[in-house]
Amino acid sequence: MTTVAEIFSAVPAEYRRDKPLIGMVGEIYCRLDEFANANIIRRIEKFGGEVWLSAISEWVFYTNFMQRNELKWHGNSFSKSMLLAQVREKFQQKDERKLLAPLRHRRTILGNL
């Protein structure tokens, strides 16, 4: 990730506050597939906007949340499955922080993490 941060830092970019920043969220396939989203990111940028694309980890953490809700719904709030789900998510969050650490101090496409 340190190498990636260096590569991103070398890409010429305009960092202006007067551009509207538009967050792109929603169904994972639609936001990531250019055909499904009709090239919306390129269109927004063409008209002077900047797009912040929700990270893939958001989807992973959402599925974890839904699994815990499902376990609660079925009366498994205090179960081995719930414990495993919670432990797995803590490790995923820890891994995400470690992966992104080299990018935090740089002005990159990830913005202000």
- Which residue, chain included where needed, has tokens 């007067």? 18
At 112 the pLDDT is 46
Q: Distance (Å, rounded) from C-alpha 41 to C-alpha 52? A: 9
- Locate 72 and state its tokens: 């609660």
Domain ranges in the chain are 2-104
pLDDT at 66 over 80: yes
Phi, psi of 53 (to 5 degrees): -95, 125
pLDDT > 70 fraction of the chain, expressed in percent and rounded: 92
Q: Distance (Å, rounded) from C-alpha 50 to C-alpha 63? A: 28
- pTM here is 0.68
3-state secondary structure of 46: helix
